[in-house]
Amino acid sequence: MKFKEGKIIEKFKADGKEIIFRFPKKSDANRLRKYINELIDEKAYIGKQKKVTKKQEIEYVKNNLKEIRKKERIEIIAEHDEKIIGNSSIWKSRLGYREMGIGTKLLELLISMAKKELKARIVRLDVYADNPRAKHVYENIGFRKIGRIPKGCKRQNGRYYDDIIMINEVWK
């Protein structure tokens, strides 16, 4: 899907509320700052403890949009009634930092935090079938394959690849 600031990706209902998933836009800075600072007030585990200033959030959004345009990051904003209720992003690992165990440690930390903070029982992920290195990492930390969606992912080269669905039953 081609990036365009604010473009709606998906709409759906959750408990009768219309939820919108969309790409971020420059004007999100103030609402994202309010959202993150509310999470800090709630003592939600988000990796930040100090409130974010307007200047910091403007810079954060500016840098994210730059990375998105360079196809180095994907970010999705979740909103209800024009209020930001969540966001998620993923980005490429940098050359020169692969094969060092960083991704494994990062994923192990996320799983540990999900168990502790979110009381997660199962963690799910998707991986391209043609990415054996990633599958190997996931299997080594307890993930197992539960399904496959033939040609479920379209890559940047325009070709379709199978999508492997994996879970880790973290309560065990």
Answer whether residue 75 is part of any domain. Answer: yes
Is 87:32 a contact under the CB 8 Å cutoff? Answer: yes
Out of 91, 112, 137, a domain closes at 91
What local confidence, expressed as pLDDT, does residue 154 receive? 73
Domain identity same for 60 and 111: no
- Grouping H, G, I as helix, E, B as strand and the rest as coil, residue 117 is helix
If pLDDT is split at 50, 70 and 90, which confidence band does 120 have?
confident
Is 104:138 a contact under the CB 8 Å cutoff? Answer: no
Answer whether residue 97 is part of any domain. Answer: no
Does residue 161 register a pLDDT over 60? yes
Give the domain range for residue 42.
8-91
| Mean pLDDT value of segment 130-152 | 91
Does residue 97 register a pLDDT over 70? no
pTM above 0.75, yes or no: no
The residue among 110, 94, 106, 148 whose CA lies nearest residue 126 is 148
Domain count of the fold of the chain: 2
Answer whether residue 120 is part of any domain. Answer: yes
Is 9:23 a contact under the CB 8 Å cutoff? Answer: yes
Is 60:72 a contact under the CB 8 Å cutoff? Answer: no
Out of 91, 120, 140, a domain closes at 91
What local confidence, expressed as pLDDT, does residue 40 receive? 84
Q: What is the dihedral of CA 121, 141, 144, 103, to 10 degrees?
A: 100
Alpha carbon 99 to its chain centroid, in Å, reads 21
CATH number of the domain residue 141 falls in: 3.40.630.30
Domain identity same for 114 and 156: yes
| Mean pLDDT value of segment 151-160 | 78
Out of 67, 91, 115, a domain closes at 91
